[in-house]
Structure formats: structure tokens, C-alpha cells
């Protein structure tokens, strides 16, 4: 059975000439970006060929792990890392909640206040935690205080943005009912918004604490306290057996934090 192609009114074309030209231009830009990136990286072929041998030598120096080095400074640095992540998260929540309330259009219908709050959130997220740490090291000096405040300022944007979005997604029914009764703004937040955003709030806080545990482990590389300072010191002294111990401890912290977060979410949410 044959099909009469003339019965179809038009010819199917996958891409128009303009679309094909645009796709070609995008592919060309992508290739040019890769070529320019490879040129700017300045890869030294001798080092690249020698990398497997150097990696093998490094792994050999890192084994066996120096477990006897754990009691003392490394144990203290590990505990300090957890304290930095916890205190930084608590401080971030205290600072981010007012900003999150101010950025929500349905709760704070003031464009000027919304703009200022959004500017704070964007500023917090746009600066990396290591840069925040360097800034606060210059103010407070090296140590866990600078790292804790850096974690807090980095977390404000994350917590405030997600909290504001949760508030904006809240159902209007309970809010309108409370408003009709003449309830105050605090009562509307406590009895109208909070029951709806509570699961999202705890999920955001727990997730941010999990992220902060990871970040606090590396802030010490710039002198902001925690186990990162012990890692940096061991690398500077070529104590590779201690380096392997610290890397294993960081991995263990991440795993334990993941387990704690999972159980806490099941309990609170």
C-alpha cells in the first residue's frame, strides 16, 4: 500500500535556516571556549605524564595511617570543626529569619524593604565562604571565631532565600481568616504562616548545617580554625600519614552528619 505524499499540505522541516545558523554559532562558541580554556590552563606535558607516578608515590607516603596522632591537636580540631558548623548555623538562622520575612512579598508588601532584603541575600550567596573567612580573619584574627562568622554570613543567603520562598508559597486561607479577625502581625506569622512553613524551615536548617560541616572542614586552610588548619599544617610539614588520617576523619564527619540529618528529618518532619 503506497502513501501519496502530495496529500500532505507542507514539507516537515526540523530546523529553519535561522535555527540551524544559531545552533552552529552556539557549537562554534562552545568549541572556541574549550580551546581558549585549554590554552589559558597552560598544561605542562612533562608534569601530566609524570602524574600517575607522583600519585602512586604520594599514596605510598600516606600509608599506613597515623592513628596515634589523633589524640591531642587533631581531636581538638575535629571537635572545633563541629562547633564552628553548629554555632555558625545557629547564628545564620538568627540573622536570616528577619531577612526571609522581609523578602516575602505576601508578608512584607513593601518594595523598598523587599529590595534591601534581596540585596542582603544575594550579597551573602555571591561571596564564597573562603572569601568571607579571609575577610573576618583580617578583622578578628585567625581562629574559629572568624570561621564561625564566615559560615554564618555565607549561610544567610541560603536560609533567607528558601525561607522567603516557603512563606510566599503558603496558602492564603488561614492568613485571610486570621486577618479578618483582626489578629496582629505576630499572631498571623505564628498561627498562619509557621504551621505551614515549619517542615520546610527545619529541612532548610538541617540541610544548611550539613553543608556547613563540609565547609568548616576546609576553612582552616586559610587560618579560620577547625580541622583544616591541622590539614594545612600536616601538608606543610610533609606529614603525609597525618594527612591521610585527617582526610579520613573529614570523610567520617560527612558520613556521620548525613546519618544525623536523615534521622533528624524523620523525627522533626
Greatest mean pLDDT among 71-80, 83-92, 213-222, 240-249: 83-92
Give me the pLDDT at residue 1, please.
Answer: 46
Of 30 and 183, more confident: 30
User: Which tens digits make up the pLDDT trace of 4-63?
Assistant: 545 455 566 677 778 888 888 999 999 988 888 777 777 666 666 767 777 777 777 778
pLDDT tier, 166 (very low <50, low <70, confident <90, very high otherwise)? confident
Of 5 and 178, more confident: 178
Residues in the chain: 269
Sign of CA dihedral 260, 266, 268, 269: positive
Closest of 205, 223, 219 to residue 162, by C-alpha: 205
Residue 18 CA to residue 81 CA, distance in Å, equals: 56
Closest of 172, 255, 158 to residue 201, by C-alpha: 158
User: Which tens digits make up the pLDDT trace of 54-107?
Assistant: 777 777 777 887 777 778 777 888 888 888 888 999 999 999 989 888 888 887
User: Which tens digits make up the pLDDT trace of 146-164?
Assistant: 889 999 999 998 888 898 8
pTM: 0.74
Amino acid at each position: 500500500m503506497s502513501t501519496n505524499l502530495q496529500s500532505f499540505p507542507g514539507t516537515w522541516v526540523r530546523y529553519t535556516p535561522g535555527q540551524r545558523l544559531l545552533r552552529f554559532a552556539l557549537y562554534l562558541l562552545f568549541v572556541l571556549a574549550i580551546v581558549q580554556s585549554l590554552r589559558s590552563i597552560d598544561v605542562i606535558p612533562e608534569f601530566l605524564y609524570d602524574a600517575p607516578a607522583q600519585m602512586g608515590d604520594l599514596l605510598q607516603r600516606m600509608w599506613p595511617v597515623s592513628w596515634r596522632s589523633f589524640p591531642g591537636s587533631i581531636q581538638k580540631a575535629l571537635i572545633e570543626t563541629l562547633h564552628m558548623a553548629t554555632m555558625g548555623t545557629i547564628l545564620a538562622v538568627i540573622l536570616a529569619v528577619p531577612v526571609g520575612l522581609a523578602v516575602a512579598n505576601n508578608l512584607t508588601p513593601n518594595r523598598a524593604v523587599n529590595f534591601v532584603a534581596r540585596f542582603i541575600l544575594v550579597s551573602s550567596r555571591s561571596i564564597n565562604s573562603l572569601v568571607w573567612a579571609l575577610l573576618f580573619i583580617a578583622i578578628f584574627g585567625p581562629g574559629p571565631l572568624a570561621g564561625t562568622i564566615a559560615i554564618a554570613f555565607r549561610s544567610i543567603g541560603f536560609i533567607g532565600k528558601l525561607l522567603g520562598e516557603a512563606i510566599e508559597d503558603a496558602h492564603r486561607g488561614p492568613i485571610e481568616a486570621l486577618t479578618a479577625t483582626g489578629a496582629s502581625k505576630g499572631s498571623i506569622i505564628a498561627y498562619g504562616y509557621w504551621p505551614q512553613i515549619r517542615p520546610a524551615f527545619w529541612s532548610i536548617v538541617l540541610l544548611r548545617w550539613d553543608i556547613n560541616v563540609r565547609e568548616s572542614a576546609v576553612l582552616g586552610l586559610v587560618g579560620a580554625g577547625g580541622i583544616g588548619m591541622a590539614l594545612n599544617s600536616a601538608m606543610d610539614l610533609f606529614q603525609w600519614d597525618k594527612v591521610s588520617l585527617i582526610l579520613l576523619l573529614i570523610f567520617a564527619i560527612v558520613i556521620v552528619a548525613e546519618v544525623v540529618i536523615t534521622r533528624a528529618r524523620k523525627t522533626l518532619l
